[in-house]
């Protein structure tokens, strides 16, 4: 499934290089495969599946900055990746941007523990 999504994303970028949403699929696959332990990446390499965590984050950042349909989802993935990498300040920035753009969703993030990602303007 990953290989098929990767193929379609690359085909889309050949036809429409400005389709930044295509980078979300590529970046997600790169990040998750690149995050796997070495032995799992080794065996996936036999199947021709490779990933790079840093390249994946860069591709997701392109989708978050320039995407049309999947931009909010890319920002959520960046926030989750930042939490996973123990960078709560990066997650806070992404989530605050989403809250500013979609104020109705604020209640989704207010319930998060304040030690994880405190949002700006949060009531204590």
Q: Is the dihedral of CA 41, 42, 48, 50 positive or negative?
A: positive
- Mean of all residue pLDDT scores within the chain: 85
Count CB-CB contacts under 10 A for residue 62. Answer: 17
pLDDT exceeds cutoff 80 at 94: yes
pLDDT score of 117: 54
Average pLDDT over residues 108-122: 55
The pTM (predicted TM-score) of the whole model is: 0.80
Q: What count of residues does the chain have? A: 124
Average pLDDT over residues 79-104: 90
Triad 2, 14, 66: Cα angle to 5°: 80
Proportion of the chain above pLDDT 90, given as a percent: 59
Contact 2, 49 (CB under 8 A): yes
Could you list the beta-strand ranges (E) of the chain: none
Looking at per-residue confidence, does 121 or 35 come out higher? 35
Of the candidates 124, 109, 76, which has an alpha carbon nearest to the alpha carbon of residue 84? 76
pLDDT band for position 124 (cuts 50, 70, 90) = very low
pLDDT score of 110: 59
pLDDT tens track for 35-70: 999 999 899 888 888 889 999 999 999 999 999 999
Cα–Cα distance list, 58 to 4, 13, 16, 24, 87 (Å): 21, 16, 19, 10, 16
pLDDT score of 3: 78
Rounded Cα gap, residues 124 and 109, in angstroms: 14
> CA torsion, points 112, 78, 73, 65, in degrees to nearest 10?
130
């Amino acid at each position: 499934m990953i290989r098929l999504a990767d193929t379609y994303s690359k085909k889309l970028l050949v036809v429409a290089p400005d389709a930044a949403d295509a980078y979300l699929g590529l970046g997600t696959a790169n990040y998750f495969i690149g995050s796997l332990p070495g032995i799992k990446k080794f065996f996936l390499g036999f199947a021709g599946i490779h990933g790079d965590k840093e390249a994946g984050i860069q591709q997701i950042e392109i989708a978050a900055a320039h995407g049309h349909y999947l931009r909010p989802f890319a920002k959520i993935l960046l926030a989750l990746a930042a939490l996973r990498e123990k960078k709560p300040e990066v997650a806070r920035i992404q989530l605050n941007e989403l809250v500013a753009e979609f104020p109705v969703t604020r209640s989704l993030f207010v319930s998060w523990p304040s030690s994880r990602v405190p949002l700006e303007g949060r009531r204590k």
